[in-house]
Chain A
Amino acid sequence: MITIENLTKRYGTTTVVDGVSMHIPRNSLTVIVGTSGSGKSTLLRMVNRLVEPTSGRVLLDGNDTRAEPAHLLRRRIGYAIQGHGLFPHHTVAENIATVPRLMGWDAARIGARVTELLKAFALDPATFAGQFPHQLSGGQQQRVGVARALAAEPQLLLMDEPFGALDPIIRAKAQDDLLDIRRRFGTTIVLVTHDMDEAFRLGDHVAVMSGGRMLQYGPPAELLTRPADPLVSRMTGLADRAMRLLSLSTAGEAALPGTVDGPAVAASASLRDVLSELVWRGVDAACVTDADGTARGHLTVAAILAHGRP
């Protein structure tokens, strides 16, 4: 869906983004991860032209993004940022209605869409539609920020550290909600974060940036098993790389045929969680069952450990 070709941004003599090329497929959730100042935001903001590249280009569905005025391009692309950036003088409903209004939707359609989104984000329309952002909790503000970004049904959603201001528990909930929303609306998402755990948790593609260059871009497991640069393995963490790898596969994917005597674990559980469960119980095998309780196979500690190395 997005093709980035040799994109470079320079401010004076400093190169902030340095010749980045990547292809982001439709319906993927791509996470751009890197230390602070590595150029992630600048790269993201060149996609919706909040920053104009020094050289290189961005294609959206094959069309150069410079083919239309920047503000019209941006209305087709959702944008959510850290600290939500809600308009303090507009109500929750008005905030969510921002882009539909800019696009000239009629009032009835806007009203219906606002109600639909508030419900989708577990915000009761009767309570929240008329409230102002400062009356909401941090988690609620963040949800309104994402709802606003999705209001005009964009195919593409750009998110810049969207959960950066949330405390860990609300943050985990917001990450789950995002995966949910993505299933529900089928939106292609590009998310920027400096948090490697968040990258591994959310991304089906992860791009690692450092000093303006893209060190590696691929499925998360590949970053662990075939790091393209020593810096990538340093950033993904050497100490717990095996555990990270285990957390990327589910019990259902790794299950061996046949059943054994042992505790039942859900097919959707990660191998990391299954291993933890086995260690805790002091046994070395578990039955893998589907959500409806039917047996899917079994797992042994040895089989799990084999998944924890390249």
Chain B
Amino acid sequence: MRADRLGALLSAAGTTALLSLPFVIFKANRIVPGTPHSLGDVLPAWGAIGCYALLLAVSIVALYVTNPRLRLFAALAGVVVVALAVAAAGNALTPAGNKVVRVAPGAGWWIASVCLGLLATDAITRLRPGPALRVLLLAAALGVALLALAHGTFDHLSIMREYAVNAVRFAHEGARHVALAAGSLGAALVAGLPLGILCYRVPRLRAAVLGTLNLIQTIPGIALFGMLMAPLGALAAAVPLAAQLGIRGIGAAPAVVALFLYSLLPIVANTVAGLKRVPRATVDAAQGMGMTDSQVLTRIELPLALPVIITGVRIVLVQNIGMVTVAALIGGGGLGTFVFQGIGQTAIDLVLLGAIPIVVLAFSAAVVLDALAEVMARAPA
């Protein structure tokens, strides 16, 4: 029997991490350095042995079972086991009623979790699920995670402690994060679609526009934010109405403008690429049958270009969700606020409170829009 290569790698990495690196870190309070604990230290003997036995079983499946359903089931079981184990460790190490101590997942837990996550992703890839099933799987995973969080399963872990302190701000900054990312995408669509159509129709314009947008893409995010602060600040000072509308040198305005500028290239370029892909004969037939130019555009060209345009939207949305993080530096708000605040206070839990939802948001956007693009492309070409 040949061992599965990826399974071997992930099993080895996960096992080594669990056995040699701390499972959790215990801190008497938020600031002091912590003490590492292994799984065996914090769980009762039967619990630790049960965990190890189950994870061993997952490793065996990862090594020797080829059926992707079974592999997925094993990986998910492993994820649940390590999640419950870390929650149990949190409960065990926290004295009743104590809100000061911090129990954070350790390096061993993180690496084991990543290994199990990769194992699950690999199994899903091997299953080749259709777009609908992929979205459904994502929804199920998010649903289970949210239920567990709402139920309080992880309340004694340090990240949830940070959440409890920042709950109101978290909701506010989370909503702002999504609004900034989606808003700049919306603006980019409103401007980029017509610009893309124009570039397609007027080839001479194409090189100039795409070249300019390409140039903008090469400016580092933080530099672009900085470059926009001066002109927007001047605008606000000179035009009172602009200031009343919330346009200032710092805050949301430069963030949205910068994200909008970054978003234009994928939208315009993909609109042009999508329209180019429409067969010449199809457009010729549409015109020859008596469609007006706008009918050809809305009934034939745009629907056929849509899968490629959606791919552009996916790039933009995932890119924006990541880039909004940096907007926090110029007062734009969003989940990046927690990240930079955490860095400032060397409070890694606060950094994670911002970073984990950003990763989850970006990943979810990618899964959903990939599925959408696939459904669109399937409408035959």
Question: Could you list which residues of chain A lie within 8 angstroms of chain B, going by C-beta atoms?
Answer: 45, 48, 50, 71-76, 79, 81-89, 98-99, 102, 132-135, 145, 148-149, 158
Contact = CB atoms under 8 A, between A and B. Distances in A.
Contacts of A71: 290-292
Contacts of B279: 83, 85, 88
Contact of A74 (B282, B290, B300, B381): B290
Interface of B: 279, 281-282, 284-292, 295, 300, 303-304, 379-381
Nearest to B299: A87
B98 to A, nearest CB: 62
A132 B289 contact: no
A98 B281 contact: no
Contact of A88 (B289, B292, B380): B380
A149 B381 CA distance: 21
Given A132-B380, A133-B380, A134-B380, A102 B291 contact: yes
B194 to A, nearest CB: 22
Given A132-B380, A133-B380, A134-B380, A86 B282 contact: yes
B289 A148 contact: yes
**Which 6 residue pairs across A and B have the least CB separation, nearest first?**
A85-B285, A75-B290, A79-B288, A74-B290, A85-B281, A134-B380
Nearest to A165: B281
Nearest to B376: A89
B282 A85 contact: yes
Contact of B287 (A74, A84, A133): A74
A87 B300 contact: yes
Contacts of A84: 281, 285
A84 B300 CA distance: 15
Contacts of A99: 289-290
Contact of A87 (B286, B287, B288, B292): B286
B281 A81 contact: yes
A65 to B, nearest CB: 13
B201 to A, nearest CB: 17
Contact of B281 (A76, A82, A135, A158): A82
Given A88-B380, A89-B303, A132-B380, A81 B292 contact: no
A76 B288 CA distance: 10
A238 B255 CA distance: 77
A50 B303 contact: no
A271 B286 CA distance: 43
A74 B380 contact: no
Contacts of B295: 102
A133 B304 CA distance: 14
B289 A89 contact: no
B377 to A, nearest CB: 11
Contact of B289 (A102, A133, A135): A102
A75 B380 CA distance: 26
For A83, A133, A134, A148, the residue with the greatest tally of chain B CB atoms inside 10 Å of its CB is A83
Contacts of A74: 287-290
Contacts of A132: 380
A78 to B, nearest CB: 8
Contact of B288 (A81, A82, A83): A81
A81 B381 contact: no
A75 B381 CA distance: 25
B106 to A, nearest CB: 53
Contacts of B282: 85-88
A236 to B, nearest CB: 29
Given A88-B304, A89-B304, A133-B380, A72 B281 contact: no
Contacts of A82: 281
Contacts of B281: 81-85
Nearest to A85: B285
Contacts of A83: 279, 281
A31 B224 CA distance: 63
6 contacts: A48-B288, A81-B288, A84-B285, A89-B303, A99-B289, A99-B290
Nearest to B304: A89
Contacts of A135: 380
Contacts of A88: 279, 282, 304, 380-381
Nearest to A69: B292
